[in-house]
Amino acid sequence: MTTLRRYLPILDWGRTYDRTAFSNDMIAAVIVTIMLIPQSLAYALLAGLPAQAGIYASIAPIILYAIFGTSRALAVGPVAVVSLLTASAVGQVADQGTAGYAVAALTLAFLSGGFLVLLGVFRLGFLANFLSHPVIAGFITASGILIATSQLKHILGVSAHGHTLPQMLGSIFAHLDQVNWITLVIGVAATAFLFWVRKNLKPALRRMGLSPLMADVLTKAGPVAAVVVTTLAVWALGLDARGVRIVGEVPQGLPPLTLPAFAPNLLGALLVPAILISIIGFVESISVAQTLAAKKRQRIDPDQELIGLGAANLGAAFTGGYPVTGGFARSVVNFDAGAETPAAGAFTALGLLFASLFLTPLVHYLPTATLAATIIVAVLSLVDLSILQKTWGYSRADFTAVAATIVLTLLMGVETGVASGVAISVLLHLYKTSRPHVAEVGLVPGTQHFRNVRRHKVDTRPHLLTLRVDESLYFVNARFLEDLIQSRVTEGCGITDVVLMFSAVNEVDFSALESLEAINRRLKDMGVRLHLSEVKGPVMDRLETSHFLSELTGRVFLSQFDAWTALASEEHLNRAAE
C-alpha cells in the first residue's frame, strides 16, 4: 500500500479530504478558472495552434496531475515559455494552420510525457540540476523578450514571421505600411488596461471597501473584462470586416480523443526538442512547487513530480492539447486563493470543461490583439535583466553564462538557447571544479582547529605541509592537485611530510586515485611521506579496494589534529636523536 501511495499521492491526501478542504478548493478553482480561460486561448495562439487547443491542454492534464502529482498548489497547463518552444519545434516540421502542425504538437506532448515518466520511474530527477539557476534565469528572460516581440504583429495587425529577435523585428518593420489602425487601438488599449489592472485595480477595490477575496477575484477577472469588452466592440461595430483579425469559430464540445503520430522521421525530428521542453518545464515546475510547499511545510517528491508532469503531457497528447507544465502565475494564484489539495486543479478542469461545452461560441469575435495583449502583460513579468547586474557583482563566470544564454537565445532562437544553456551549465560546473580550492592550513593557537594560513594567524611547522582539499576529486581536477603539490614541494624546501586533509572530499574516482598514487610515488622519490586525514567513510571504503593504502608512505589519521600532534612529536624525536 505504501508503494501504491508513492505512485498515487491522491491516496494519501484523499484520505483526509473534508468539507473545509472542499470549500477552499472550490473557491480557488473559480478564481483560477476565470484567469485561465483567456490565458489558455492566448497561449494556444502563441504556440501557433487553434484557440481551443489551449483549453483542451488545461483539462485532462490538470486531472492527471491531481492524481499523480505531489504538489497541493501547482496548477498545470500551457505556459508561455513552453508554448514558444512548441511553436519553434513544431514549426520546423509542419506549416502552421495545417493538420500536420496539430499532429506534430500532439506528438511533441507524447514524447515529452514519455520522457518525463521514464525519468521519474528511474529516479533521474537530479539530471535537471545540470541547468544552473543563472542560466535558467537568462533563458526565461530572453524567452520573455522573444514572446513579447512575437506578439507585436498581432497588436499592429500585420503579417510577420521569424524565430529570432532580428528576424522578428526585421519582419515587423518591413510590414509597417500594412498596420491596421483599428487593431492597433484595440491592442494598445487592452495592453494598457491589463497593466493597470495588474498594478492598480486591487488596491483601488480595497479602498472602496471590498474584501480581500472579492478584490482578488475581480483583479484576476481583469483579462476576462478585456476579452468581453473588445469582443462586444468587434461584434457590434463589425470591425472584423475592417481588417481586425478575430479568433473565429471555436469548436464546442468535449476535448477530442486524438492520437500522436509515430512516423520515425517525425519522432526523430521532435525527440531533442521534446527533451529540452521536458527539462525546462520540469525545472520551472519543481521550483514553483517547492517554493509553495515550503510555505506550508509540505513535501515535494521530485521523482514523483516527473511522473505527474509526464502523465499530464500524455493526457494532453491524447486529448487535443500540446506540451504543458506547472505555471508560476496560475500556481501562485491557486495558492493565494486558498487551494488545500490537488482537487482544486480537478475542479478547475471542470470549470474549463464547462467553458469548452458552453462558452466557446462567445469568443468568435474575440480579436487576436486582445490575446496578444494578455500574453505580453503575462510574459514581461518574466523578464529580469537585473540578473546581469547581480551575477556581474557576484561571479563573472555566472555572468558570462547568463549573458551568453540571453544573447544566443535572442539571436539564434529558443532551441539553440536551451541547448546552449545546458552546455554552458555543464561547462561552468566543469570549469569551477577543475580548479578546486586547496588551502594550506595551520593550527589555530589554543584550539584543535585548522584554518587557511593566508586568512588567519596560525601555527605551522617548516617540515609539515597540510593541504585542505575543498572539492571531491575526479578526472577533471585530479591533475590540478598533482601540479599544486609538485610546485609546493621543491628540492631543498625542508618539507618531510605532506598531509592531505580530506574533510570536504566526498568522492575520489579512478582518475583521481591514479593521481594520488602518482603523488605518493613522486614524494617517496623525494624522501617525503604522504599522509591523509579526516577521510570520510565512503571514500575510505573505496580506497580500501585498491592498493593505494598499502603503498602509502605515510598514515591515515582520524583527525587533522592527530596528524599534527603525531608528526610534530616525530620531528621533535628526530631532532633529539640528532
Q: For residues 34 and 224, is the Cβ–Cβ distance under 8 A?
A: yes
pLDDT at 367: 94
Q: Which three cell numbers stand for residue 471?
A: 572539492
* Mean pLDDT on 124-142: 78
* Mean pLDDT on 474-488: 89
Helices 19-46, 222-237: crossing angle, 10 deg rounding: 50
Alpha-carbon distance of 484 to 529, in angstroms, equals 16
pLDDT in tens, 27-40: 888 888 888 888 89
Alpha-carbon distance of 308 to 300, in angstroms, equals 12
Alpha-carbon distance of 246 to 180, in angstroms, equals 13
pLDDT band at 130 (very low <50, low <70, confident <90, very high): low
pLDDT at 129 over 80: no
- Does the predicted model carry a pTM greater than 0.85? no
Alpha-carbon distance of 125 to 129, in angstroms, equals 8
pLDDT at 127 over 80: no
Q: Is the dihedral of CA 229, 158, 321, 323 positive or negative?
A: negative
pLDDT at 424: 80
* Mean pLDDT on 470-498: 87
> How confident is the prediction for the chain on average, in pLDDT?
88
* Mean pLDDT on 108-133: 86
pLDDT at 295 over 90: no
pLDDT band at 381 (very low <50, low <70, confident <90, very high): confident
pLDDT in tens, 437-458: 999 999 999 999 999 999 999 9
pLDDT in tens, 61-116: 999 999 998 888 888 999 988 998 999 899 989 998 888 999 999 999 999 999 99
pLDDT in tens, 248-278: 888 888 899 999 999 999 999 999 999 989 9
pLDDT at 574: 57
Q: Which three cell numbers stand for residue 336?
A: 493565494
pLDDT at 165: 92
Name all domains of the chain by residue range, CATH numbers in brackets. Answer: 2-427 (no CATH), 438-577 (3.30.750.24)
Alpha-carbon distance of 16 to 367, in angstroms, equals 45
Alpha-carbon distance of 477 to 364, in angstroms, equals 62
> What is the number of other CB atoms lying within 10 angstroms of the CB of residue 405?
28
98 three-state secondary structure: coil
How far from 171 is each of 158, 178, 523, CA to CA, in Å? Answer: 10, 12, 67
Q: For residues 176 and 160, is the Cβ–Cβ distance under 8 A?
A: no
205 three-state secondary structure: helix
Contacts of 182 (CB under 8 A, 6+ apart): 157, 239, 242, 243, 244
pLDDT at 3: 61
Helix (H) or strand (E) holding 452: strand 450-452
Phi, psi of 6, rounded to the nearest 5 degrees: -65, -40
pLDDT at 573: 55
Q: Which three cell numbers stand for residue 304?
A: 514523483
Q: Which 8-state DSSP code applies to residue 471?
A: S
pLDDT at 492: 62
Alpha-carbon distance of 418 to 409, in angstroms, equals 7
Q: Which three cell numbers stand for residue 535?
A: 577521510
First-to-last C-alpha distance (Å) of the chain: 74
Phi, psi of 76, rounded to the nearest 5 degrees: -95, 145
pLDDT at 4: 67
From the list 102, 371, 157, the residue with the least C-alpha distance to 247 is 371
Q: Which 8-state DSSP code applies to residue 14?
A: G
- Tracing cell 514553483 back to the chain, one arrives at 288
Share of the chain above pLDDT 90, in %: 52
Region of 320 on the Ramachandran plot (φ > 0 left; ψ -120 to 50 alpha; else beta): left
pLDDT at 428: 79
pLDDT at 460 over 80: yes
Q: For residues 337 and 19, is the Cβ–Cβ distance under 8 A?
A: no
